């Protein structure tokens, strides 16, 4: 975690480039002190008098890995990084690691395992934590290792390694894994418990025990037996080298968990895609059958994951600092989300050009536009401030101001992108990282915050690329930008020079700031918004340079982290923070919990603002949960004793994402006598607040077919905005059927053509008849334009009763009183074309309170379509196949319709946008 700082930190990202093409360091040592990269260069030697990674006492350290992992890029800034980064010289094992639901700590005798289920609120009520507390230690008889090393790792799993010369132990642990998988030699399996265990099941090689109120299952090879003696449980391995331990959600789950006890997880991989406004991600585990043939497994999904999957889940759940985790019985699952919007800038709606010109000149003509910045962080913030203003100058025809700002940005970037001066980037061969000097906040000695700092550089470079593509060419300065991206957000798992997605934890759904993770509370992240700034920068850089791989990576990161921030920093659904924690937001998320604090101040304005800045066209996703924004601002003003004073611009801009008129009124009343936050300017704040006051708040319920598009809603009027970085005109389509023609290298704004009439959202739905809209919405609005969605083929497999790649339509924040004797009804227009043997199936689910748990689920018999082209009507009269739970009144609830192919080997269609395809719920 970063050291205390006087102000926030920043973020960066971009895609990998091949060393063979001259776009960054190769896997081996650099051949010269200065390594040319396009028109720029970096150094392979740190500047005199500076440091790389060290212990807390200043002793240089190298990665603590086994010979099998030597030379591989270590993913620092992870949930388990203390295994490889020995920050504290007296601890050669690890600090607590929070995998969730389990917690771990490496010690001389093996791996401590805990399952914290009771939160503590500490620090005068400002922090909640599910701190690691040992329930048991997994090891081998006699094991007393001098250290623990990282032996292997994948996207969210890691294998710690112990050896004392006579015995070796490897364990595989990870996010969402209820199992710990162990391989050992030289001793028997040994489990030591924090207190004498209570045995609830003894099946020889399978033992069920309860420790501190938590239920565990111990699995030894078939033919062996566990022996309990006080607080020590042992089993000979019978000539084998494997055993496993699982935390059980209940004692009656033992049989299910036994089925997968010998299906050892060997790796984890996420794959993502972006398509026409939707981000999909598949999280998959690879396994090895140690006994039998079972290759499946169990994994626990975080809230931000299970909210966005239609894959079936078991009834099993776990407690975690991120709220309830739900268990999936399979080796993979897929999430689908509406893509987060990103724009180079808001359109200049309602802006007075003369007034904006005056504000722009204040910055452009400043005697020191960089405010004395010399290190990577503060230089980055200054670059970001200037970059935000370039499109604004262009909007009002001020080419001279625009070009002056671009010249300032280029000059400072080129200065940093050239080795040998007062500032430069230096590559560390041992740690496979690029560090900027002068460094700050431990970006050198602790490898902190690279994504924060470098994100500003990539963002600024993306704005330059939008106006000067030649500058961004790989042969010019673009290859240095790509090298920074490889350091912070490398999408390649085979790049020998940088780790895969260094700071971003794909399973946790967000980044981590500390390079070493050397804290009792695990890793942490304070400024989540500087992390998403990097993701937005990737979207813009990829779009400006034609790199769709990088653009789509940025969209995946921004969309995923946006939802994680909403749930874990802002508690958007009020289902994550413990009831005993009396805050509506946190400044920092830790592995063990979260804190209403920052590293440098207890000032409420900065606690709330640190997860907002910098405010850019990549911040629009913060407006996806407007009630959370309102609660956040209200708490800040309560804690502050009134409206913001220091960071008023940041917090006005944040409020405008939910209530633009109220935020603009605050600007109108107080814009004369304040000093902008260091990364802000009056020009940008005035433009932002005026534009949203004119257009309305961002509307996340509608997405465009291009990542650089957004929708705004004021009253019942939607405004559609898109930026086209390409060299030819294109038409951007939106999920409500509207479209927008966008000229080359331009931003277009309008009310759209075609599609449906807009309806207010996310205000509570009224009425009980919902149309289906392409893009996944259920709406009570009428007058839509007919369209259709494709129902994916069942691929010859029987999915009767179980959704598979289903179309999902939802209405949220629904209020209604259950009609006595009422029942669900629907009529859905479906068509199989000329394909024989298809059957479409529907499931309707009701989450009565919007807490993410569906209280009532109804699955209907499938409808066998005929092989004649034309719409057929599938209705509830086909009959109910199964139902669980009971209906009740809806209070801010969610209604979901899923439609999929139950049988057959071909795609079919589902009509949308008309009153012939509707869901009718039994509510008044």
Determine the Cα–Cα distance for residues 282 and 474; give it in Å rounded to an integer.
Answer: 32
Specify whether the CB–CB gap between 831 and 841 falls below 8 A.
no
* Nearest to 311, CA basis, from 275, 281, 338, 277: 281
Q: Is 605 a catalytic residue?
A: no
Whole-angstrom distance, CA of residue 185 vs CA of residue 241: 6
Helix, coil or strand: residue 110? strand
Q: Which of 530, 677, 789, 898 is catalytic?
A: 530
Active site residue 526: yes
Name the DSSP letter for residue 446: S
C-alpha to C-alpha distance for 467 and 745, rounded to whole angstroms: 9
Q: Which of 151, 164, 424, 449 is catalytic?
A: 449
**444-461: per-residue pLDDT in tens?**
999 999 999 999 999 999
- Residue numbers in the chain where pLDDT is lower than 50: 1-24, 26-32, 756-766
Say what the pLDDT of residue 783 is: 66
Cα–Cα dist 833/825, whole Å: 25
CA 717 to chain centre: 31
Cα-Cα-Cα-Cα torsion 308, 259, 202, 316, nearest 10 degrees, comes to 10
Residue located via tokens 């204040």: 362
Give the model's pLDDT for residue 767: 63
**DSSP H/E element including 594:** strand 593-595
Per-residue pLDDT at 822? 84
Active site (annotated) includes residue 449: yes
Which of the residues 474, 495, 526, 831 is marked catalytic? 526
pLDDT for the residue numbered 433: 98
The full DSSP string for 516-544 is S--STT--EES-HHHHHHHHHHHHHHHHH
| CB-based contact 651:612 (threshold 8 Å) | yes
User: What is the per-residue pLDDT for 786?
Assistant: 82
> How far apart are the C-alpha atoms of 375 and 166, rounded to whole Å?
49
- Write down the pTM of the prediction: 0.82
């Amino acid at each position: 975690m970063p050291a205390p700082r006087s102000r926030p930190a920043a973020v960066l990202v971009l895609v990998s480039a091949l060393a063979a093409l001259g776009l960054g360091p190769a896997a081996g040592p650099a051949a010269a002190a200065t390594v040319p990269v396009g028109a720029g260069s970096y150094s392979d030697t740190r500047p005199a008098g500076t440091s790389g990674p060290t212990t807390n006492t200043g002793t240089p350290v190298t990665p603590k890995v086994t010979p099998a992992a030597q030379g591989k890029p270590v993913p620092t800034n992870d949930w388990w990084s203390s295994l490889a980064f020995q920050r504290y010289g007296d601890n050669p094992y690890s600090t607590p690691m929070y995998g969730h639901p389990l917690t771990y700590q490496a010690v001389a005798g093996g791996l401590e395992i805990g399952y914290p289920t009771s939160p503590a609120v500490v620090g005068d009520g400002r922090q909640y934590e599910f701190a690691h507390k040992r329930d048991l230690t997994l090891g081998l008889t006699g094991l007393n290792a001098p250290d623990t090393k990282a032996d292997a790792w994948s996207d969210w799993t890691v294998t710690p390694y112990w050896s004392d010369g006579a015995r070796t132990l490897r364990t595989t642990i990870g996010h969402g894994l209820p199992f710990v998988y162990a391989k050992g030699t030289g001793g028997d399996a040994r489990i030591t418990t924090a207190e004498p265990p209570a045995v609830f099941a003894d099946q020889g090689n399978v033992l069920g025990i309860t420790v501190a109120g938590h239920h565990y299952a111990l699995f030894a090879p078939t033919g062996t037996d566990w022996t309990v003696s006080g607080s020590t449980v042992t089993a000979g391995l019978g000539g084998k080298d494997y055993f496993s331990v699982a935390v059980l959600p209940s004692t009656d789950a033992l049989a299910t968990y036994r089925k997968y006890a010998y299906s050892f997880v060997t790796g984890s991989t996420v794959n993502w895609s972006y398509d026409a406004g939707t981000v999909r991600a598949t999280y998959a585990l690879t396994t090895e059958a140690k006994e039998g043939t079972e290759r499946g497994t169990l994994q626990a999904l975080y809230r931000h994951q299970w909210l966005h999957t239609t894959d079936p889940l078991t009834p099993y759940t776990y407690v975690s600092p991120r709220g309830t985790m739900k268990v999936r019985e399979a080796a993979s699952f897929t999430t689908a989300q509406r893509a987060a919007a990103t724009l180079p800038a808001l359109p200049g709606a309602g802006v007075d050009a003369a007034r904006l010109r005056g504000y722009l000149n204040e910055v452009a003509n400043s005697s020191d536009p960089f405010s004395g910045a010399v290190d990577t962080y503060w230089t980055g913030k200054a670059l970001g401030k200037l970059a935000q203003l370039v499109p604004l100058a262009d909007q009002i025809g001020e080419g001279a101001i625009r070009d002056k700002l671009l010249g300032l940005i280029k000059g400072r970037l080129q200065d940093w992108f050239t080795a040998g001066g007062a500032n430069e980037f230096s590559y560390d061969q041992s740690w496979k990282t690029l560090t900027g000097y002068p460094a700050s906040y431990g970006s050198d000695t602790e490898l902190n915050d690279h994504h924060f700092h470098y994100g500003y550089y990539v963002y600024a470079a993306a704005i330059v690329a939008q106006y000067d593509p030649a500058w961004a060419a790989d042969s010019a300065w673009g290859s240095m930008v790509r090298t920074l991206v490889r350091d912070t957000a490398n999408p390649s798992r085979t790049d020998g020079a940088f780790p895969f997605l260094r700071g971003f934890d794909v399973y946790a759904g967000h980044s981590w700031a500390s390079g070493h993770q050397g804290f009792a509370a695990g890793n942490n992240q304070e400024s989540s918004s500087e992390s998403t700034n990097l993701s937005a920068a990737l979207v813009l850089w990829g779009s400006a340079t034609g790199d769709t791989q990088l653009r789509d990576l940025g969209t995946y990161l921004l969309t995923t982290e946006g939802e994680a921030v909403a749930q874990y920093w802002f508690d958007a659904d009020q289902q994550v923070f413990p009831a005993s924690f009396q805050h509506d937001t946190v400044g920092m998320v830790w592995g063990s919990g979260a804190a209403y604090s920052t590293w440098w101040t207890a000032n409420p304005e900065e606690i709330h603002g640190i997860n907002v800045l910098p405010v850019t066209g990549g911040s629009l996703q913060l407006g996806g949960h407007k009630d959370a924004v309102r609660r956040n601002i209200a708490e800040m003003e309560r804690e502050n004793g009134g409206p913001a004073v220091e960071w008023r611009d940041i917090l006005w801009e944040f409020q405008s994402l939910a209530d633009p008129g109220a935020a603009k009124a605050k600007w109108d009343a107080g814009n004369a006598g304040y000093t902008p936050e260091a990364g802000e300017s009056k020009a940008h704040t005035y433009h932002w607040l005026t534009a949203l006051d004119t257009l309305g708040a961002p509307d996340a319920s509608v997405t465009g077919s291009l990542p650089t598009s957004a929708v705004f809603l004021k009253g019942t009027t939607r405004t559609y905005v898109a930026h086209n970085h390409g060299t030819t005109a294109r038409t951007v389509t939106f999920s409500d059927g509207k479209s927008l023609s966008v000229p080359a290298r331009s931003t277009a704004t309008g009310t759209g053509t075609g599609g449906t009439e807009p309806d207010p959202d996310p205000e509570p739905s009224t009425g009980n008849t919902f149309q289906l809209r392409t893009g996944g919405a259920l709406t009570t609005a009428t007058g839509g334009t007919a369209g259709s969605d494709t129902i994916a083929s069942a691929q010859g497999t029987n999915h009767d009763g179980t959704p598979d790649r289903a179309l999902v339509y939802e209405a949220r924040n629904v209020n209604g009183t259950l009609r006595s004797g009422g029942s669900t009804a629907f009529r859905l227009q479906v068509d199989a074309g000329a394909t024989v043997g298809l059957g479409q199936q529907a499931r309707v689910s009701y989450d009565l309170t919007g807490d993410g748990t569906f209280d009532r689920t109804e699955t209907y018999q499938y409808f066998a379509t005929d092989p004649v082209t034309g719409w057929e009507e599938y209705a509830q009269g086909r009959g109910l196949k199964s139902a669980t739970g009971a209906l009740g009144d809806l209070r801010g609830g969610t209604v979901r319709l899923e439609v999929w192919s139950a049988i057959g080997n071909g795609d079919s269609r589902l009509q949308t946008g008309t009153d012939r395809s509707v869901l009718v719920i039994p509510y008044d």
